[in-house]
Structure 1
Amino acid sequence: MDPYNTPEAVLQLGVIDPQIDQIFKEEPPPNLNSDPPQVLRAGMVTNEKLGNEAKPASHGTNESVLTIPMRDGYESELRVIKPPNQTPNSPLVVLIYGGGFFCGTNSQLLPWAKATSALYNATVVLPSYRLAPEYKFPTAPNDIWDSVKWLAANAASLGADPSQGFVIGGSSAGGNLAVVTGHRALREKLSPPLTGVLANIPVCLDAQIVPEKYKHLFLAREQNADGLVCNAKDLEVWTGWWGPDYFSVDFSPVNSDIPLAGLPPHFVQVDGLDTLRDDGLIYEKLLRDSGVSTRLVAYPGMPHGHWGYRQHPLSDKAHIDTLSGLGWLLGQEIQREEISRLWNTEG
């Protein structure tokens, strides 16, 4: 049963969690729309470094870096995480960082990548994409598509076999790029095909393109407009830098002219206090109504990317949910206790 099928239920997700409210009072989030993107990028690099230092364990995985050509000759960097005991048929997982399309690096999701590789004996690839405002839409989705096509053709050189599982995922802007690439793989008949999509707090809607059936549930842009994280002003500034075409299929599969029924399973996560909350909620409903297998996890009262507030218990839960969801997409469901033990290993 769908617990978020009425406006009242959806709006209830946006009631702030008391503990995160107290955290915000003690340590207000920085303003992320007042500085130029170059300054904000430097701050993101610092935050990524702190995040990686907080979860330094390699779990026995091995890391390497290589570059591959994009369609215009640009050399884009891939970070590759190989499992401790890699076999030639390890599944392939692609994880895409977020940052409003203007910041972030392919080191951002290293903790997820290392844990995923160790848990599921998977080769995990962290691609890059060029950032706005220097590179506007659709450079980012094209870069990720070019990377995924290269991986599909060259997986064996990395010791991976996509026929054993080929999952793409991402967070925030990376969540957008994951769902867009998932749809593009269907549209352009990628071979081997993708077998799963992780959409973590994705942006994939605009008021102009919400399907009529779900418009009464598209409430987060207004409800959470004045939030401290990823608010309406943030979205206005960031999308101004990126310049998306909201009616393009490279922005959202909602604009598809082919049935969505052929898409692989999707694991979707949304934050209740997020302006992007209903992007994920509604996209998951659209997929489910189209016959696509889905799982949804919502975090009531929590802001965009709430797991960054490590002192809150829902931070750890979100990480475990993500790793568990990747296992579901790979057909390798592992007990949460085992995932938690590995995730909380210090060295």
Structure 2
Amino acid sequence: MDLESGQAVPAVPVPLDVEVQVAYDAYLAEEPDLAPMSLEKLSVIRAGVDDAVAALEDLSHGGRFVVSQPSVPGLDGAPEIPLLVCTPPGAPAARPVLYFIHGGGFYCSDHRLGLDQILDTAVQLGATLISIGYRLAPEHPYPAQINDAYAGLLWVADHADELGIDPERIIVTGPSAGGGLSAALALYVRDKGGPRLLGQLLTAPLLDDRNDSASARQMDDIELFDRSHNAFAWNSLLGDAQGGADVPQYAAPARATDLTGLPPMFLDVGSAECLRDEILAYADRIWQAGGKAELHVWPGGIHSFDRKAPEARISKAAVAARRNWLERLLAN
């Protein structure tokens, strides 16, 4: 507010990191469709995902992993859930698990795509990566996604000996919508029972369906995943319930009134993305509840900056910080 005029002062966007800006400009130059997110555009995006999955030739990533793709029972008679299980050859038994929930705004992507970074981490940790293919919105609205994530987790813990994993060392992780689902799964396991999670690694998670934070308004129309895309994601998941009074915490973890009893948490976000303030608020509430949370805000980072600009120095720093946290968590 301008104290002299009494007029609201427009929010000034946070400038992007220089290296991120260069990579993002190059990405935009090649992007064929910059139209607002819509159901029509969603069909095009999903067709691209299908093409990318069809082009996958080596899920073992050059023999770095022993791979299996079991389908496991859904919750309460729901359809079977596809998993991708990647185990480093020669890794000892009772390995830790990175239970990965993919991003894509709840409405797109695939559990077999975009795994290079997390697979590199699995190799470094001697961990098994298990990636889950949950049902997508809007065809399958809430609670399909959290039910699938929970059912997959129960199966993994029940088959620990067969998988060669330690059910006491399962870390749930994911980017964007997958980060939000990871946070929701931690709440769900706390309340409903199941394997005790060792930790939760949340990368720019979608946490709050209300989509009305200062950063959501400040950074609107600055990058592709802006306030309008965030609204589309939450509307796909929740429909008319989005933003209302009765959204459950297992859909939008920011709605939780009790954040006690959760496993240690790592959160990171770019300073130049619309999700910044809801993630900061979530970390702050974890601390107020006496919980453990490590928070990183990467200056000039946009949504998924580490994927759009993997060679940028802040991207490499972000990846290193996540792996360092995982190493410390497993060491303890």
| TM-score, with length taken from structure 1 | 0.80
Report the equivalent of 1:286. Answer: 285
> Is the CA contact 1:93–1:166 (under 8 Å) kept in the aligned structure 2?
yes
1:259-278 equivalences under 5 Å are 259-278=258-277
For each residue in 1:109-165, what CA deviation from the matched residue of structure 2 results, as whole angstroms up to 9, or x when unmatched?
4223422332222122001101112111221111111111111222222111112x1
Aligned with 2:231 (options 232, 236, 240): 236
1:115 lines up with 2:110 in the alignment: no
Q: Give the match for residue 48 of structure 2.
A: 43
Residue aligning to 2:206: 203
Q: Give the equivalent residue in structure 1 for 2:130.
A: 125
Q: Specify the alignment match of 1:342 in structure 2.
A: none
Aligned match of 1:144:
149
Cα distance in structure 2, aligned partners of 1:138 and 1:174:
14
Describe the shift of the 1:149–1:87 C-alpha distance in structure 2 as closer, same or farther (beyond 3 A): same
SS in 2 for 1:161: strand
Match of 1:186 in 2: 190
- Which segment is superposed worse, 91-100 or 19-28? 19-28
In structure 2, the residue matched to 1:251 is 251
- The CA RMSD measured in Å over matched residues stands at 2.8
After superposition, the C-alpha distances for 1:294-313 in whole angstroms (9 at most, x for unaligned) are 11111111110011223433
1:166 to 2:165 alignment: no
Deviation at 1:26, TM superposition (A): 4.2
Counterpart Cα distance in 2 of 1:155 and 1:12: 51
Q: Is the 8 A contact 2:208 2:255 kept in 1?
A: no
Q: Deviations over 1:238-277 (max 9, x none)?
A: 33322265520212333335x4221110011111111111
| 1:106 equivalent in structure 2 | 111
Q: Tell me, which stretches of 5 or more residues in structure 2 are unaligned?
A: 1-10
Segments of structure 1 that go 5 or more residues without pairing to the other structure are 1-10, 211-217, 333-347
Amino acid at match of 1:291: G
1:207–1:76 distance in 2 versus 1, CA, 3 Å: closer
Q: Secondary structure at the match of 2:318?
A: helix
Q: Please list, as runs of the form range in 1=range in 2, the aligned pairs for 1:215-226 lying within 5 A after superposition.
A: 218-226=213-221
Q: Secondary structure of 1:81's match?
A: strand
**Secondary structure in 1 matching 2:69:** strand
- Number of aligned positions between the proteins: 309
**Which range moves more in the overlay, 241-250 or 94-103?**
241-250
CA 1:49–1:300 in 2, change beyond 3 Å: closer, same or farther?
farther
CA distance in 1, matches of 2:26, 2:263: 42
Shifted more, 40-49 versus 140-149: the winner is 40-49
Deviations 1:301-340 (A, max 9, x none): 11100112234332333322333333233237xxxxxxxx
**Equivalent position of 1:344 in the other structure:** none
Given that 1:112 and 1:323 are in contact with CA atoms closer than 8 Å, whether structure 2 keeps it comes out as no
Aligned to 2:14: 14
| Whole-Å separation in 1 of the counterparts to 2:12 and 2:290 | 27
Name the structure 1 match of 2:316: 316
The 1:240–1:262 alpha-carbon spacing in structure 2 relative to 1, beyond 3 Å, is: closer
Query: What letter is aligned with 2:186?
Result: G
**Aligned residue identity for 2:225:** C
* 1:339 alignment partner in structure 2: none
Preserved contact between residue 267 and residue 325 of structure 1 (Cα < 8 Å): yes
CA contact (8 A) 1:59 1:114 kept: no
Q: State the partner residue of 2:69.
A: 65
Distance 2:329 2:251 in 1: 23
After TM superposition, give the deviation of residue 42 of structure 1 in Å.
Answer: 2.8
Encode CA deviations 1:160-201: one digit per residue, 9 max, x unaligned.
1112x11101100000110000111111232x3111001110
Shift in CA distance, 112/201, structure 1 to aligned 2, threshold 3 Å: same
1:296 aligns with 2:300: no
Q: Deviations over 1:7-46 (max 9, x none)?
A: xxxx999332233334444442552615432211233456
Letter matched to residue 19 of structure 2: Q
